[in-house]
Structure 1
Amino acid sequence: MTESTAPLSPRSRIAVTAGRAAAAVSRAAGRGSGSVIGGRVALKLDPELLRVLSGHLDIVLVSATNGKTTTTRLIAEALRAAGEVVSNALGANMPAGITSALAQGSRARYGVLEVDEKYLTAVAAEVNPKVVALLNLSRDQLDRAAETRMLADHWREGLKDTKAVVVANCDDPLVTWAASDSPNVVWVAAGQEWKDDAWSCPSCGGVLQRPEGGWACAECGFRRPSPTWALAGETVLDPHGTAWPIRLQLPGRANRANAATAAAVAAVFGVAPGPALERMYQVTAVAGRYDTVTWQDRELRLLLAKNPAGWLETFSLIDPPPAPVLLSVNARSADGTDTSWLWDVDYTRLAGHPIVVVGDRRLDLAVRLEVAGQNFRVFDTVEQAVRAAAPGRIEAIANYTAFQDLRRAVGN
């Protein structure tokens, strides 16, 4: 590896320049960061550009259904202790967005990239990663994503001959199945709150047993491997059994699990847990998630939850009743147009919270809340909902595009 990339070919230089120009036009037109359109233009002009731009970097790929944006950010902060990092920090995680990010990293040492689950193995084949971090697999975007077992099989096939160190959550049976054929695996006991996508054995289809602290298939013997790293309350245990305190400004158990994985990844690059975790404390929000804003003379905390696993973790973060809760759900292409997942979320956990509901699919959500016996009101706009919400800090929970709508509304 070198500190800066080798000179680009004329074709690659033209592709990068054209991509940056397209991104600039997109930003000027108010259509977002421009990273996706910029990457598409660049790859159209040079289909090998992803491979070219990553050639000088030590690459980390992070993939999961939940937590990949935050974990990517934590890893990037940890590795900055050892050198310059380029990352797709805003979450554009398909090849076009990744290409745009890498085009900004000519002098970087590390590339820390979140990757959409469906594109993980294709991107890995292009960028030759040093580490692949796998966090969890659960149902998400039901109209576009493969069934979780099929996705685990796809990962397993694509990673079985990888030269990368695979850092994998051994508490998720689907992730364990995906990683278990890889030559070099570091197992992290990061926990698994949502278990409804992993009751059957991914190896034989038998029913998984879940004794305290583990899981196993009684029929074929496939079982949870012994972890090398482990989340233990407010600490992470390293391979020597040393407990390192996790101090984050990001809330909740899920983010401590993300930090444990990030510490394991950083260790592959020689960054010790102490300095790695110290740097992670500097992360206060991730692409607006967990931000607290004042708007309409009210305080709102912005929380993203885009699938049942994410909603379960998010419910554990909110202030206790009677804190008001704003819920917003869309079903645009970036969210997935199938909202049947709403029926998998346990909305009885919101008992005692006065709830206001907005979003494109507010009526779908209203039906679900009615069945769950919750106290709620439906509004056409965020402004109306916030004005009508009960006193106190509002916990605003939204899925992907609804979260972006919410950020725009409050000026975040």
Structure 2
Amino acid sequence: MAGNSDPLTPRAKLAVTAGKAVAAASRAAGRGSGSVIGGRVALKLDPDLLARLAQNLDCVLVSATNGKTTTTRLIAEALRAAGPVVSNALGANMPAGITSALAGGSDAKFGVIEVDEKYLAGVARDTDPKCIALLNLSRDQLDRAAETRMLAENWREGLAGSKAVIVANADDPLVVWAASSSPNVIWVAAGQMWKDDAWSCPSCGGVMQRPGDDWFCGECGFRRPTPSWALSGDHVLDPHGSAWPIHLQLPGRANKANAASSAAVAAVFGVPPQVALERMYQVQAVAGRYDVVQFEGRDLRLLLAKNPAGWLETFSLIDPPPTPVILSVNARGADGTDTSWLWDVDYTRLTGHPICVVGDRKLDLAVRLEVANQQFQVCENLDQAVQLCPPGRIEVIANYTAFQDLRRRVGN
């Protein structure tokens, strides 16, 4: 537990100091937070540093295709009711970024760690977590991410026999299959809007049957487990059948689902649902997501959507027509360079909204919108798009690097 004798060897202390120095130099040079480069340097000097930093922490790992950063933030707020928390709150979710974050939390009791899906098994080995939250798996970064079933298989193998309590979404067949190798799973009915990655059974390849909210494989009998926690409208149902109200400043059904999973995680650490959910109300925005900023006399709400499942959830929470919508898509390294996923998004949901298109791949997006019979204008940049919109609210939806570009432009 926290407060025990110092676990860091002289080599580990040197690695932490060097990593912090490099991170500070990177920040001073205007190259971002420096957490990733600082973590890389520290791990080069002491490859076991992540394990050393985690050994005095009660850790929870959070992994998913969508909702990792927000859920990590909600869990961190909930666990602060029980003690100091260290977390990679800005989303640097590979080993270097995680190491950097933990190096900054010497007095922490809990580590709340967002983990990239591809690194989950390795980070779980290093940090010996008390709990792992698995929210969803769907197609993302098609050029370099393994096909979703392969990711599920990596999770399943990496978590087999894990001592951690797994808090997993019972509504996502890929997550259920991945988590089922673990002896201790708490199932949460968090819902699943996007189903196009789970029509075949991950266990046998048979066709999935999906009557109502249920699912099962007609061939091998693999089926939805009975959840002990559930999202029900604006409430979380706990294992005793009590309904706890969700009060969030974050919009949309997806964030209520994130809150339900977060409440189940908090309970593993002894924080009751009422306390956990009340603390989650403090979260107004997460790394710029959902922020409303004033720009050129308009109110821009900044929304991040990186893949088809994320766009589907985002469309469900925007203001109704005729609210203008600005869409921005890039295809840089951090986004994935393959934009064919645009064809998996149902853009007919934007019918009635005036649409402006910006970003590196605005022409790819324009072709997709044309086929979806949407009315849109292609703009050179955000400033031009905003000037085409009347005063008032504008919904701005962008993928990863496009979102960072927008935040820089509006000074967020």
TM-score band w.r.t. shorter chain:
over 0.9
1:232-243 correspondence to structure 2 within 5 Å: 232-243=232-243
Task: Return the offset for 1:7.
Answer: 4.5
Q: Deviations over 1:349-388 (max 9, x none)?
A: 0000000110000010000001101111111111111111
Alpha-carbon distance between aligned partners in 2 of 1:240 and 1:163, rounded to the nearest angstrom: 24
Task: Return the offset for 1:2.
Answer: 2.9
Residue 186 (structure 1) aligned with residue 197 (structure 2)? no
In structure 1, the residue matched to 2:25 is 25
In structure 2, the residue matched to 1:213 is 213
In structure 1, the residue matched to 2:144 is 144
Structure 1 stretch 360-369 or stretch 6-15: which is displaced more?
A: 6-15
Residue 344 (structure 1) aligned with residue 357 (structure 2)? no
Alpha-carbon distance between aligned partners in 2 of 1:313 and 1:73, rounded to the nearest angstrom: 19
Residue 67 (structure 1) aligned with residue 62 (structure 2)? no
SS of alignment partner, residue 277 of structure 1? helix
Indicate if the aligned counterparts of 2:7 and 2:52 stay in contact, CA closer than 8 A.
no
The one-letter code matched in structure 1 to 2:244 is W
SS of alignment partner, residue 240 of structure 1? coil
Task: Return the offset for 1:194.
Answer: 0.2
In structure 2, the residue matched to 1:34 is 34
Structure 1 stretch 387-396 or stretch 48-57: which is displaced more?
A: 387-396
Unaligned runs of 5+ in 2: none
Indicate if the aligned counterparts of 1:4 and 1:109 stay in contact, CA closer than 8 A.
no
1:250-269 correspondence to structure 2 within 5 Å: 250-269=250-269
SS of alignment partner, residue 41 of structure 1? helix
The one-letter code matched in structure 1 to 2:187 is W
State, as a whole percentage, how many aligned pairs show the same letter: 78
In structure 1, the residue matched to 2:297 is 297
The one-letter code matched in structure 1 to 2:375 is N
Q: Deviations over 1:30-58 (max 9, x none)?
A: 11111000000100111010000001000
Alpha-carbon distance between aligned partners in 2 of 1:51 and 1:30, rounded to the nearest angstrom: 30
Indicate if the aligned counterparts of 2:7 and 2:55 stay in contact, CA closer than 8 A.
no
Alpha-carbon distance between aligned partners in 1 of 2:164 and 2:349, rounded to the nearest angstrom: 40
Alpha-carbon distance between aligned partners in 2 of 1:5 and 1:340, rounded to the nearest angstrom: 53
Q: Deviations over 1:263-320 (max 9, x none)?
A: 0000001100000000000000000000000011111000000000000000011110
Alpha-carbon distance between aligned partners in 1 of 2:203 and 2:291, rounded to the nearest angstrom: 41
In structure 2, the residue matched to 1:83 is 83
SS of alignment partner, residue 66 of structure 1? coil
1:3-402 correspondence to structure 2 within 5 Å: 3=3, 6-402=6-402
Indicate if the aligned counterparts of 1:5 and 1:53 stay in contact, CA closer than 8 A.
no
Question: Kindly tell me: are residues 384 and 5 of structure 1, through their superposed partners in 2, closer, same or farther at Cα, counting changes over 3 Å?
Answer: farther
SS of alignment partner, residue 153 of structure 1? helix
Indicate if the aligned counterparts of 2:329 and 2:402 stay in contact, CA closer than 8 A.
yes
The one-letter code matched in structure 2 to 1:159 is L
SS of alignment partner, residue 230 of structure 1? strand
- When the two chains are superposed, the root-mean-square deviation of aligned CA atoms in Å is 0.8
Q: Deviations over 1:159-178 (max 9, x none)?
A: 01100000000100000000
The one-letter code matched in structure 1 to 2:380 is D
In structure 1, the residue matched to 2:403 is 403
Indicate if the aligned counterparts of 2:2 and 2:107 stay in contact, CA closer than 8 A.
no
Task: Return the offset for 1:84.
Answer: 0.2
SS of alignment partner, residue 51 of structure 1? helix
Indicate if the aligned counterparts of 2:7 and 2:53 stay in contact, CA closer than 8 A.
no
TM-score by length of 1: 0.99
Aligned residues: 412
The one-letter code matched in structure 2 to 1:246 is I
SS of alignment partner, residue 113 of structure 1? strand
Unaligned runs of 5+ in 1: none
Question: Kindly tell me: are residues 267 and 375 of structure 1, through their superposed partners in 2, closer, same or farther at Cα, counting changes over 3 Å?
Answer: same
The one-letter code matched in structure 2 to 1:261 is S
Task: Return the offset for 1:255.
Answer: 0.2
Indicate if the aligned counterparts of 1:187 and 1:229 stay in contact, CA closer than 8 A.
yes
Alpha-carbon distance between aligned partners in 2 of 1:31 and 1:356, rounded to the nearest angstrom: 30
Q: Deviations over 1:168-204 (max 9, x none)?
A: 0010000000001101000000000000000001111
The one-letter code matched in structure 2 to 1:283 is V
SS of alignment partner, residue 52 of structure 1? helix
The one-letter code matched in structure 2 to 1:297 is G
SS of alignment partner, residue 337 of structure 1? coil
